[in-house]
Amino acid sequence: ESVTVDDVLAGLDDEQRAAVTAPAGPLCILAGAGTGKTRAITHRIAHRVRSGQVQPQQVLAVTFTARAAAELRARLGMLGAGGVSARTFHAAALRQLRYFAPRIFHGRAMPELVDSKARLVTLAAAKTGHRGERTLARDLAGEIEWAKSSLVEPGDYPAVATKAGRELPLAADQVAAVFAEYERAKRAAGMIDFEDVLRAAAWAMEEHQDVAEQIRSQYRHFVVDEYQDVNPVQQKLLETWLAGRDDLTVVGDASQTIYSFTGATSGYLVDFPRQHKDATVVRLFRDYRSTPQVVALANTVISQARGAEARLRLELVGQRAPGPEPEVRDFPDEPAEAAAVAARCAALIDAGTPPSEIAVLYRINAQSEVYEGALADAGVPYVLQGSERFFERGEVRQAMVALRVATRTADPGAPLVPTVAEALDAVGWRSENPPAGGAAREKWEALAALVGLAEEFAASRSTGTTRADRGDDTGHGGQPGWDDPAGPDTSLAAFTAELDRRAAAQHAPTVEGVTLASLHSAKGLEWDAVFLVGLADGTLPTTYAKTPEALEEERRLLYVGITRAREWLWLSWAAARAAGGRQSRRPSRFLPAGPARAGTTTQPVPKKRDRAVARSVSCRVCGVTLMDAMERKLGRCATCPSTMDEELLERLQAWRALVAQAARVPSYVVFTDATLT
Ligand code: ATP
Ligand code: MG
């Protein structure tokens, strides 16, 4: 391979390099958002692989979302360390269970996964005398999730929940009764839920020596990203994998703990140096992700934080060139807010920002609907995140059943895509007339994504293209992957087999568009332009956050949101929910008062006309257009650096100033005299 150890070490600062080259053994990186923690662990893995210290298949890297895992795999591939297993805890556990199922479940199939926890909890609540209310079922499901992630059994629940100061939807012993009934009904149905998967994976290693040995002899070097949000079940699984060994790298930022409502705690991260006396501890403080303006806002918001971790925090120091000021906007109601966001998205895209570099982030998933509608109206493509559980969605599971049924009757020679579309007809999907928004639209999109996969599958088989590491999670090589040119088998059976593989790997389909995501699912990710919407008091912080600890978590959530932006940040809130509604809301208490709040000025946005100009003006010498020069992020013509056309250069600078103000600052475009001469 062409990637050398030196290549892996290039592009790191001194602290990052120290982390990357630290000897095998416990290592802990404690640092704020955007300081290159994920970059450091990626390079550490690659460094150890490229220098021959470990084999790629001996590394298990665990991250929080399927999207983050896919990004890690892609980056490792580029650094010459493809073949490393990078997964979520859930995917790693599920894969292990499926692989060892015959041994663990004594020849029986692996239990089905619970597809609707809400339904099962509602039934359990009804059985114990609490029927009706959806919000009650939701709160009970939340408590059950918290208890299971915290390794608390129904019998111990009342004491532990009371001690932990949980905000309870019912009396503690009543919650425990629902919890016990839920567990009973689940077991009776032969099913396991999301949390059980992690517990069962740990349990399988404890009960089956041979299984444990096989797994432990494979994985020697463990890496956990976002370690501040690990919960007791995940920690237990990690310890079971390690079995007393200590070649473990953990990275995290206690200021980004946002899952404590489900039992996560930054305690494991903060205590790591005490638990591992010989641990190497590295702190990073340079923020490479965001403009100084964004960094300053992030520092302001988090500097108000209370709690133990506040003392350990280092102020972030921005490394990038200045960019536009964050915009703080208020609106009379949510539809107006959403329409303005959609219009701005369209303008950014017009000015050259790719849709995939834009995100709209909100506190709760219910907020997505109004943005879906507004973006659809504005003709802006979007992707709803949360696709980690794509293959666990009810309609996708139904579709997979329908596809499996169809394989029995389908003509193996028939073209794949129409066959798939026809099979989806059985679950009520029609390619035409997508619903306008909301849950129906989401379902439609999910099924459309399956058809998209079928198209991709048929195309890759017929052209025989092999796209190396498309983020397939097959891990150890060996098994044939998505793109192995194993022959032009485009039958429905081959496609469903591939879907099964992708489902096992939680490898959801990707679509190009503006990301719509909850703040929780945005952690670890970054975009050029970020819209933080619905920042009204009562939404962020949510009215459910009643204890001081819960409020602190809401503050951290805003900090996570702000630090997702590379260049362009918008923060907005609406005084009323519906158009014409009572305008009684106030801005989030976490938004800093003062000039930033008052600054509701609208910045100039490059117009379509400007874009046309950018296309039409070209270098007289080599013909490169202004638009091309911008898109290649070059301050000069690629072909004739010393004879840059003056008019082009002038317009390039004017255009750049306009775009920089409105959208993005390509800070690596440096206009120096050297470039001109
Ligand atoms: P988070 O806490 O949000 O997960 P992080 O600490 O993991 O953030 P990364 O995602 O690793 O940060 O890095 C943030 C951005 O900064 C990325 O775009 C990364 O490529 C870039 N970056 C990190 N280190 C450097 C560096 N030494 N030089 C240039 N760019 C860097
Ligand atoms: Mg990270």
Query: Which range is least confidently modeled, 261-265, 270-274, 435-439?
Result: 435-439
* pLDDT over 80 (residue 235): yes
**ipTM score above 0.95:** yes
Which residue has the CA at smallest separation from atom 23 of ligand 1?
A: 36
- Residue 572 pairs with which residues in a beta bridge? 329
414: tokens are: 């028939």
Rounded distance from Cα 230 to ligand 2 centre (Å): 14
Query: Given this model, what pLDDT does residue 394 score?
Result: 79
Q: What is the mean pLDDT of residues 546-573?
A: 94
Q: What is the mean pLDDT of residues 161-165?
A: 88
Cα separation values, 411 from 108, 291, 418, 419, 492, Å: 32, 57, 12, 9, 9
State the SS3 of 262-308: HCCCCHHHHHHHHHCCCCEEEEECEECCCCHHHHHHHHHHHHCCCCH
- Tell whether ligand 1 has an atom less than 6 A from the beta carbon of residue 35: yes
Query: Which range is least confidently modeled, 65-74, 617-626, 668-677?
Result: 668-677
Rounded distance from Cα 28 to ligand 1 centre (Å): 16
Query: Given this model, what pLDDT does residue 441 score?
Result: 74
Question: Is the CB of residue 540 less than 8 Å from the CB of residue 534?
Answer: yes
Query: Given this model, what pLDDT does residue 417 score?
Result: 87
Nearest ligand to residue 559 Cα: 1
Query: Rounded mean pLDDT of the chain?
Result: 82
Q: What is the mean pLDDT of residues 549-564?
A: 95
- Tell whether ligand 1 has an atom less than 6 A from the beta carbon of residue 288: yes
Rounded distance from Cα 34 to ligand 2 centre (Å): 7
Query: Given this model, what pLDDT does residue 624 score?
Result: 64
Give all domains of the chain, ordered by start, each with its CATH number: 5-93+199-284 (3.40.50.300), 115-192 (1.10.10), 317-381+512-598 (3.40.50.300), 389-504 (no CATH), 608-676 (no CATH)
Rounded distance from Cα 82 to ligand 1 centre (Å): 20
Question: Length of the chain, please?
Answer: 677
Query: Given this model, what pLDDT does residue 418 score?
Result: 85
The residue among 313 and 561 whose pLDDT is bigger is: 561
Query: Which range is least confidently modeled, 170-174, 280-284, 654-658?
Result: 654-658
* Sequence letter at residue 237: L
Confidence of residue 168 (pLDDT cuts 50, 70, 90): confident
The single-letter DSSP state of residue 456 is H
Q: What is the mean pLDDT of residues 157-170?
A: 89
Confidence of residue 647 (pLDDT cuts 50, 70, 90): low
**SS3 category, 29:** strand
Q: What is the mean pLDDT of residues 537-541?
A: 93
Nearest ligand to residue 29 Cα: 1
Query: Given this model, what pLDDT does residue 175 score?
Result: 94
Cα torsion for 532, 537, 542, 544, to the nearest 10°? 180
What angle, 0 to 180 degrees and rounded to 10, lies between the N-to-C axes of helices 14-21 and 37-50?
40
Question: Is the CB of residue 289 less than 8 Å from the CB of residue 32?
Answer: no
Rounded distance from Cα 290 to ligand 1 centre (Å): 9
Nearest ligand to residue 34 Cα: 1
Q: Residue ranges of the alpha helices (H) in 476-594?
A: 492-504, 548-562
Q: What is the mean pLDDT of residues 386-404?
A: 78
The single-letter DSSP state of residue 88 is E
Binding-site positions? 31-38
CA distance 499 to 507: 9
Please enumerate in sequence order all residues whose Cβ is within 8 A of that of 677, keeping only pairs 6 or more positions apart, or say none.
Answer: 642
| Dmax (CA) of the chain | 82
CA distance 111 to 209: 21
The single-letter DSSP state of residue 22 is P
* pLDDT over 90 (residue 511): no
* pLDDT over 50 (residue 641): no
Please enumerate in sequence order all residues whose Cβ is within 8 A of that of 76, keeping only pairs 6 or more positions apart, or say none.
Answer: 42, 45, 46, 61, 82, 84, 86
Alpha-carbon Rg of the chain, whole angstroms?
Answer: 26
Query: Given this model, what pLDDT does residue 646 score?
Result: 60
User: pTM (2 decimals)?
Assistant: 0.76
Which residue has the CA at smallest separation from atom 30 of ligand 1?
A: 288
Among 14, 28, 29, 38, residue to substitute to test ligand 1 (most atoms within 8 Å of Cβ): 38
CA distance 14 to 61: 23
Binding-site positions for ATP? 31-38
Among 17, 28, 29, 39, residue to substitute to test ligand 1 (most atoms within 8 Å of Cβ): 39
pLDDT over 90 percentage in the chain: 48
Rounded distance from Cα 523 to ligand 2 centre (Å): 8
Confidence of residue 626 (pLDDT cuts 50, 70, 90): low
- Tell whether ligand 1 has an atom less than 6 A from the beta carbon of residue 566: no
Nearest ligand to residue 566 Cα: 1
